[in-house]
Structure 1
Amino acid sequence: MAHLWQRLMSLPFLRSEASDDAAGSSDASHSDLLLATQTATHLERLTARPCNRLIYRTALTHRSVLHDHHGDADRPESNQRLEFLGDAVLDLLISEHLFKQFPQSDEGHLSSNRAKIVNRKSLAAFARELQLGEHLFIGESADKQKIRDSESALADAFEALVGAIYLDQGLAGAERFIMNHVIAKVDLRKLVEAEYNYKSRLIEYTQSRQLPPPLYTVIAEEGAEHEKHFTVEVSCNGLSLGRGTAPRKKDAEQLAAREAMILLDSADPFKPSAES
């Protein structure tokens, strides 16, 4: 029992002011306490709520810790199960946001843009911005420095943290965290336009046919000043090709150009007639 207590007290999240007094006031124990306090404070700042420390300790426990406790009945749990849960929560919330933000996008486009946000490289970048690597629990036998900055470990930790927040604060808490630390960091419009810049494609089309450039016209404005929606029509050579509606004129133009390209790909009204 004493051996188990010592091991539990060695975990930074489970140390307390009282345990420090009981164990003595050595520099080493004070350093461990400071790390625990810093980690808890850091997580509470990120999640905007007091933390269930056991759940978040698990979220930050790298699987290398298990190797140091191989065969122990009381070995700690790694963050792999929370990673599985967080992955599902992240997919759901990002999918919902993209679904609402881009009502004109089809399933393929939504899936493609979600993949750009939740891929391993992106998740690791989010984790670095949150400084999760500094707070990971790493096994003593592992190469700590490399693991703390590895793309895989950081991405896993980020997903596990989302899973922990979901268990601790529910879906609303997870959504708040993702909106603040994922959605707010990603330029979704630029992300979409990078792959699906229909305005550029339409210009290339008109140039290849020696046609006048596309003309974009606002044909309707609806809603209050702070929540306007613009409807834009695109035409070429006097022929209407498509319309789009969005809160910003540029996005409405992009949607109008997308509709135009769908039309031109299926039935090209400017296709040169075959010589008789």
Structure 2
Amino acid sequence: MDTERKQQLEQFIQVLGLKEFHNLLVLDQALTHSSYANENKASHGYYNERLEFLGDAILDLVVGEYLFLHYPNMPEGELSKARASVVSETPLASVCAKFHMGDYILLGKGELATGGRTRPSIMADAFEAVVGAIYIDSSYEEARKFILHQLKGYLDLVKSGHYEKDYKTLFQEYVQQEGPQHIEYELCRSEGPDHDKTFYMEVKVNGKVLGEGSGKTKKDAEQHAAHTALMKLKGEEF
């Protein structure tokens, strides 16, 4: 690992609010996409998919445990729905956007050229990989604290009963509290080849742009745009 990459990772540790990271190589692997590994002939397995697998399992356990303990009367089916909403792509990608995580991920040239740094799926996968890296480098308890802190806003949605609603619905309900408003979603641009496009959508209220989002489908991009706008209006960091 060269000095520049080491400094970049140390900066990222500070951005995450972690006290320390004992093995920077584990964090480096968590932030290495398979496209970069393939282009640069990295060591076998030196990319984040295995750590992503581990982090995904830890996320399910931590959020499931939290919901089980905090909602003793919630039936199993509702617990499953609530957990799925908290650990889904939109919340994880949004947390990553707050950290500008894409700036720290090593991506192949093809992914970079098609907007990989802001692609929600890549961001969400990287979040899971970082969780796995924290667990490997430190402990389950540190990973648990990190997860609960970063996903607090989404866990609070469960308490308010909003977890089953999509962000377009939540956004619409919020802006129309004092009466009907004109809400529209508009395609800004798209990037990448036809078989692998990334769409960028804006959401406008009465002609004013309040949020932008991206996704592999226009519907996903609209959801991310609505989420961004909702955060902006509520002045919250979910």
TM-score by length of 2: 0.62
Identity %: 35
Q: Provide closer, same or farther for how the CA distance between residues 88 and 73 of structure 1 changes in structure 2, counting only shifts above 3 A.
A: closer
Task: Tell me which residue corresponds to 2:235.
Answer: none
Partner of 1:158: 127
**CA positional deviation for 1:195:** 4.8
Taking structure 1 as reference, are residues 104 and 193 closer, same or farther at Cα in structure 2, changes over 3 Å only?
A: farther
2:67 to 98, 105, 109: 98
1:189 CA drift (Å): 4.3
What is the match of residue 224 of structure 2?
A: none
Question: What is the deviation of 1:42?
Answer: 2.3
Match of 2:57 among 88, 91, 101: 88
Q: How many residues align?
A: 164
> Which structure has more RCO (C-alpha within 8 Å, separation ≥ 6)?
2
Q: Return the alpha-carbon distance in structure 1 between the equivalents of residues 83 and 51 of structure 2.
A: 20
* 2:30 is equivalent to residue 43 of structure 1: no
CA distance in 2, matches of 1:121, 1:128: 10
Structure 1 match to 2:36:
65
- Do structure 1's residue 147 and structure 2's residue 134 form an aligned pair? no
CA drift of 1:182 comes to: 1.1
- The letter of the residue matching 1:82 is L
Deviations 1:53-111 (A, max 9, x none): 10000000011112313xx4746711000000000000000000001111110100100
- The CA RMSD measured in Å over matched residues stands at 2.3
Query: Contact (CA 8 Å) 2:96, 2:127: kept in 1 or not?
Result: yes
- 1:136 & 1:145 partners in 2: Cα distance? 14
Question: For the pair shown, which has the larger CA radius of gyration, 1 or 2?
Answer: 1
Matched with 1:257 is none
Instruction: Report what 1:15 is aligned to.
Output: 2
Unaligned runs of 5+ in 2: 166-238
- Partner Cα distance (2:126, 2:8) in 1: 18
3-state DSSP of counterpart to 1:153: helix
Gap change, CA 1:195 and 1:56, over 3 Å in 2:
closer
What is the CA distance between 1:179 and its match in structure 2?
Answer: 1.8
TM-score (structure 1 length as normaliser): 0.54
Q: Do the aligned partners of residues 145 and 74 (structure 1) sit closer, same or farther apart at CA in structure 2, a change above 3 Å counting?
A: same
- For the 8 Å contact 2:86–2:154, the answer to whether it is kept is no
Please report how far the alpha carbon of residue 169 of structure 1 lies from its aligned counterpart in structure 2 after TM superposition.
Answer: 1.2
- Matching residue of 2:203: none
Distance in 2 separating the partners of 1:76 and 1:144:
24
1:136-159 Cα deviation digits (max 9, x unpaired): 101134334611111110010000
1:215 aligns to what?
Answer: none
Task: Return 5+ residue gaps in structure 1 as ranges.
Answer: 1-13, 17-32, 197-276
* Distance change >3 Å, CA 175–CA 78, structure 1 → 2: same
- Cα deviation for residue 126 of structure 1 reads 1.4
Residue of structure 1 in register with 2:96 after alignment: 127
